Amino acid sequence: MTSRLHRGALLHFLDDPTKTAEDSYAYFSNGALLVEDGKVIAAGAADEVQTQVPLGTPVVEHADALLMPGFIDTHVHYPQLDIVGAHGEQLLEWLERYVFPTEAKFGDYAHARAVADRFLAELLRNGTTTALVFGTVHPESVDAFFDAAAERNLRMIAGKVMMDRNAPAYLCDDPESAYRDSRRLIERWHGKGRASYAVTPRFAPTSSPAQLAAAGRLLREFPGIYLHTHMSENISEVSWVRELFPHVDHYLHSYDEAGLLGRRSVFAHCIHLSEEEWERMASTGCGAAFCPTSNLFLGSGLFPLREAERFGVEVGLGTDIGAGTSFSLLQTIDAAYKVQQLQGASLSPLKSFYLATLGGARVLDLEDSLGNFLPGKEADFVVLDLAATPLLANRLSHCENLFETLFVLSTLGDDRCIRENWVLGELAHERHKEFVDLSA
């Protein structure tokens, strides 16, 4: 039995701050987190938690730090690690010019595994412990990813891309092979350790109605698996869907008619949706991934967070690497704030850190295991360094309350703020050590 007591300032969320401002979070400036065998036993004020600590339990002190649940990235593409920052295109041209050529290499397990290892190292050094992840069309890409995630004990959700039209022949499957390959991967990976499978059509333009129907069949045959795709990211894409599916009422309908909506269905972007689409997402329990750095980078548009809130659709944050420009959820929060500013809305830092933790867990239907420090939750947590840079330390010294501290942290923070990342109660990343290793 391994147990440790972590001492330091501690913050976690109990609900969406938009719904219940006061009771939505718990903050302890002198806090403690008791972890045993990878699970949270207790979290709260240090003097209260200490009464529950067995004699001889090792104590880890975290000075000038804030402990939070590990960040959750609800939409990201691991195979696009090598094309982050590709210049000059909007969505459809960007896919053709940069994404498809790089994804072609992932039929080779060794290549896929090497990229998966680099990708997971980036997640950890940015404070992320769980993600919903695109593979490529190749089953090998998923095997490599889950092998790499299992080696690090990470809770990850991923799947093979389904794509049978409007893409280069070298990246296309067909409805039958997509069904067969996905099925094999589900049987091999879903529920194995901390892995979960997501049926992953890239988006409606690259899947025929027959292929979307095959995706629906998988969801019916394997309750508990996920559906992960893109929707309404770019105006040209939305018009294209209208041409490709002339009989549907709107974009969401192309997925709805295939049986793809449900509590474990996550749609990335959701920028240009009608009220009818928001209503249908809410009534079927679908979640939305808000990917602000990506939406700005590709010039796609501004995610209407207030609409999602008005209709009661759960939202998480996505980095959407490689259209997104940072692995850091802190920088993603910073971009999310600016995207809301451009719409005349002021995103509260309480809300944005909720989105990065418990909100993400809710979108992924993982609230029972992740998202905060309630007893019994899996002990994935991040130690944020409040003195990571001279500017941050100086600016934070002028903050008068938690609200200001969080806002400054997300405005000035990045991967340098991730002092440590702990997975199932074990140290998985240590920034200081990485620095020493790099300079050795």
Q: Is the Cβ of residue 62 or residue 75 nearer to Zn ion in the bound state?
A: 75
Instruction: Residue 333: name the closest of 270, 409, 437, 251 by CA.
Output: 409
Contacts of 147 (CB under 8 A, 6+ apart): 113, 116
How far apart CA 389 and CA 385 sit, in angstroms, is 9
Q: What is the smallest separation between the CB atom of 372 and Zn ion, expressed in angstroms?
A: 27
Nearest-10 Cα torsion for 402, 408, 409, 410: 110
Whether residue 23 contacts residue 31, with contact meaning beta carbons closer than 8 Å, is answered with no
Instruction: State which residue, 203 or 337, has the beta carbon closest to Zn ion.
Output: 203
- Shortest distance in whole angstroms from residue 54 CB to Zn ion: 46
Strand partners for 59 = 5
Stretch of 57-65, 240-248, 312-320, 421-429 contacting Zn ion, by CB under 5 A: 312-320
Which of 111-119, 256-264, 313-321, 392-400 is the region at the interface with Zn ion (rule: CB under 5 A)?
313-321
| Least separation in angstroms between CB 75 and Zn ion | 6
Assign 3-state DSSP to the chain and report helix, strand, coil percentages, each to 5: 45, 25, 35
Is residue 365 a contact residue for Zn ion (CB under 5 A)?
A: no
- Among the residue ranges 15-23, 79-87, 274-282, 316-324, the one whose residues contact Zn ion (CB under 5 A): 316-324
CB of 268 to Zn ion, least distance (A): 5
Interaction between residue 334 and Zn ion (CB under 5 A): no
To the nearest whole angstrom, how small is the minimum distance from the Cβ of residue 325 to Zn ion? 13
CA 200 to chain centre: 15
Of the candidates 253, 226, 411, which has an alpha carbon nearest to the alpha carbon of residue 337? 411
In the bound complex, which residue of the shown chain has the CB atom lying closest to Zn ion?
Answer: 320
Closer residue to Zn ion (CB): 98 or 422:
98
Cβ within 8 Å of residue 371, ≥6 positions away: 13, 69, 72, 357, 358, 359, 360, 361, 362, 377
Give the interface size with Zn ion as a residue count (CB under 5 A): 2
**Which residue matches tokens 């090598």?**
82
DSSP per-residue string spanning 302-355: ---HHHHHHHT-EEEE---TTTSS-S-HHHHHHHHHHHHHTTT----HHHHHHI
Per-residue x/- mask for Zn ion, residues 259 to 288, rule CB under 5 A? ---------x--------------------
In degrees and rounded to multiples of 5, residue 13 shows phi and psi of -105, 145
Select the residue interacting with Zn ion from 320, 334, 385, 430 (CB under 5 A). Answer: 320
Binding status of residue 237 toward Zn ion by CB under 5 A: no
* CB-nearer residue toward Zn ion: 237 or 320: 320
149 contacts 194 by C-beta, under 8 angstroms: yes
Q: To the nearest whole angstrom, how small is the minimum distance from the Cβ of residue 23 to Zn ion?
A: 34
Nearer to Zn ion, 119 or 422 (CB): 119
Smallest gap from residue 50 Cβ to Zn ion (A): 45
Part of the chain binding Zn ion (CB under 5 A), chosen from 44-52, 255-263, 297-305, 320-328 = 320-328
Residues that bind Zn ion (CB under 5 A): 268, 320
